[in-house]
Amino acid sequence: KEVNTEVGQEYPPGFHVIYLPFTDDIRSLDILTPMSTVSDDALNLATGLIKKLNLKKYHPANYENPGLQKHYANLQALALKKDTVDEINDQTLPKTEEIEKRAGKLLQSFKLEVLDGHELTLPKATSSKRKADRTTEGESKKAKTSTGFSTEYIKKIFNEEKLASLTIPILVEFAKSIGMKKIPKKKADLVSQVEEWFDMNK
């Protein structure tokens, strides 16, 4: 039980559960080679990196689950009958620019000390905006829309003549995934375009 003087109880009292492993999960590992050691300089550099990149005010409640946020965005688009699904802000992605600013020099020194001068580069920050997929006919059969429905699943719905049962956001995302340039706003026209595409790509 944890109580905050400002907001009251944060965590209610309860049991602390420890999950016991299965017998198959317990096994001995034979280490064939001796464990490698590092120099004191490398240890000092690693310690400095940890201190520089330590999140002093970290709380899991400040980082939303991107999978759930995407799910909620799809529900919102469905409820409000939107043609497109709003992009989400994935707060779990590393802030590479801030990492470079806070510990860039230490990272380079660590590279020289531990990696024998091999190049150590940070991953480039990717934009959250979705780019249109330009897939070939073979690739589009395995492609998935951002809503999580594969082309094979959409084709199954098409063969059952139930495309009209799909929501507009799903149809729009599928149209984008197959490279459709002009996407109709009306559902009936959109269904007709998708049906035409499947007829042409049998």
pLDDT digits (tens, 9 = 90+) for 180-192: 878 887 888 888 8
The pLDDT assigned to 156 comes to 83
For tokens 């150590």, name the residue. 120
Strand partners, 171: none
Tokens linked to 185? 């706003």
Cβ proximity of 63 and 93 under 8 Å? no
DSSP state letters, 177-196: HTT-SS--SSHHHHHHHHHH
Collapsed DSSP state (helix, strand, coil) of residue 120: coil
**Cα separation of 82 and 147, whole Å?**
14
Q: Which pLDDT tens digit goes with each residue over 75-120?
A: 999 999 888 888 888 888 888 888 888 888 888 888 888 766 555 4
Mean pLDDT to the nearest integer, 167-195: 83
Count of CB atoms within 10 A of residue 72's CB?
Answer: 14
SS3 of 42-63: the string is: HHHHHHHHHHHCCCCCCCHHHC
Which is more confident, 81 or 147?
Answer: 81
Does 140 have pLDDT greater than 70?
A: no
Tokens linked to 44? 């000092």
For tokens 């990149």, name the residue. 53
Cβ proximity of 140 and 200 under 8 Å? no
Mean pLDDT to the nearest integer, 128-139: 43
**Residue 98 to residues 19, 93, 104, 158, 174, Cα–Cα distance (Å):** 37, 12, 9, 47, 36
Which is more confident, 20 or 146?
Answer: 20
Query: If residue 113 lies in a helix (H) or strand (E), which one and from where to where?
Result: helix 96-114
Q: Distance from first CA to last CA of the chain, Å, rounded?
A: 62
The pLDDT assigned to 7 comes to 64
**Residue 149 banded pLDDT, cuts 50, 70, 90:** low
| pTM listed for this prediction | 0.38
The mean-pLDDT minimum among 16-20, 101-105, 111-115, 172-176 falls in 111-115
The pLDDT assigned to 124 comes to 53
CA 54 from chain centre, in angstroms, equals 23
The pLDDT assigned to 131 comes to 42
